[in-house]
Structure 1
């Protein structure tokens, strides 16, 4: 057979399942092998119906292929968490002892080709293939015979299956490629269906939470209207009392009432759908105005709000009011992190990255977030502020950024500070 075979992934999977794919006579051994593999595929399809976790699906697929391919020595299953995320290795399997080091035994050159062209690919000897001369990982990992097939959902490549062996006398074949493509197809369908089910459950949960939040917030608002009149009346009567203890207690109570108001406002803002209104705005000017506005509100031991803007940044298509709300949330959080610190510093930054995306950063040199908590900051109702936080601000920021096709990331170190970065892609009209 040729040293290299490339097939469109869907065609390779379909060929394995088509009993009339080849009119030529095949040996009894090949017939037995084909029937055995077809039975394995049916068994996999049946078992996958009861599995919901992506890693378990990938692990089961890799195990099945290792059982069908005695010569396979290493297998890697890679997956994207979302359409915008890079591929990550979720399952790595070795037939023999795992070698030292943390390097993942895959050819990035071949993976890139498979993803870009949606190919199912088999190579008998990748080391001798002139098309992969630039692939250093092929040499480093001694990748000889390779199978690489994509996991495709609709028109999207959601993952990749990469197998290799160093046994040149028992190299992978076209039949192996077709079977691996069929297994990858089953895995992709199962993973996609599982994700759709999880999204449906999450959407129902969010709808129920939204309805509950709205009802609670409106009831709080109604009580606040009554409290406002009572609060003003109490303030008027207590203003003539010179008792310091009473004044301190009353001020404390007023602060609690203010927190309740802020909570109800946040709850209503979270459930309210803000229509996106795009217009061409000067991001740097907006950031500078916001700096001047918020600097007056900063109090404490020399706290500063500074800017680090890209002078070459042109106007950008943006929802200005939504961006202001997002920045307000992030700056308030940053201020809470630095207000007890000497010379607290909050930095607003803007720049254009190599992908021509707008980046807006909010950094502080405050208390930071513990490593085991930083990944939870965008979860609804999660807060690092105890009773002073609602756990609604950052989910609202994330929802705004994603509504414009962007992403928000966070980096934090305890006692060093936190950085939030808003990344917005280029929008037609910019």
Structure 2
């Protein structure tokens, strides 16, 4: 006996059964009459042949199709085949024995193996990855729609490097462009042994807690083994088809149209994309099969690229961490050696009761304690992102206090430190502690950049009302900076002071100023000196343009 279930068309939901005798399908057929006006009066015929059924077209006006392929010669039908006559779509169920799939324990939200007592899978068509590079379609609008989908997909995932976020966006695009009741994406685990659900979506609602999404292992196995996208029909078994209660509604048969595509990287299978829709609402086409195959390829390539980027970032982070640890260990070792030298002098002075030696040793200890305090403060600022706590502050007072802290250093190095703080000066919205740290770092750096006896560092403030900018200008008469070195001075752990610098001062200063939406302008003349101009927006939320570096040689 052959059973034909109408999925789409004017007769949707009707079921026809025929015993072991030929039957005509058409508008004027006695055995299988159809009311679809696009169906010919005598459109096609099915007839038994050695335990199976054969379908042939009767020179119909609009043609007969099986699984999307036009019938020109008699076709032997298989369980689950889709027959299209005009706008009517029919699913065939014969007497063939159904495969008995071995049950498997479900994992997470997806049961990849459902036994024959629950679901069968008939693979109607497939397309390999090589065949799907060009999306073919009989209509121009279908090709245009396919390219629109691919454009949206590449735009959505092109800049995403987080694999989980990328897969969510892929499913977003699929749900927007294709009729989908359920969709899920599976990826292989790190060992490459087991498919793990990464995205599970329902178009309407969400599955109840603990509810399994069932699909056939046969579909997944075929896609994995053949590495090709498949178009399938899932139908309940013959016992279900013969149920009288199931005849009233097409939904009672549990018929689903399924698309499943491999996620392919560069010659590597990474997972699968699976979507399905109730066949009563929609059945997928060959064009949508090809589209899904390309989506799988694009997703695989993007996913593989994202993983490579993450690996490179991780490698870079590890390398940077190792470099940082090595640099800091060396710098801290030098500080501790200085502390130890000072402590030895203090001990010697106490032993010999020599106050001069004690003061000399204690001075060394103090200087090295200041160095480690400065290192600690810079590391705290540099190591984390933070939003500055903006409050109206007296900028001149902050600058003057920072200068006073390095005055002793300037005196010891025999450097002249001058200030020219413009008055009156309006309150400026800024983070006092941050601007204090940035100013301190740049002024200290300027003192180190000049020669003893002849070195001069000038700190000047200026309010530019027309631009709404408050300026802190630190200039020195040092040796200047070469053009190709300008960028380097702001890189962390880059120091021109040998063992005397941390390489963090200017990097921290730039970070703080950027957090204030300000900028640092550097002007330098080789052999004459350098000027650092900190530009801070006066209006809260305002921004200055990007940092400007210029060098005159």
Greater fraction of residues in helix: 1
Instruction: State if a TM-score over 0.5 links the two structures.
Output: no
Q: TM-score, normalised by structure 1?
A: 0.43
Q: TM-score, normalised by structure 2?
A: 0.35
- The one of the two structures with greater contact order (alpha-carbon pairs below 8 A, sep at least 6) is 1
> Looking at CA atoms only, which structure, 1 or 2, has the larger radius of gyration?
2
Greater fraction of residues in strand: 2
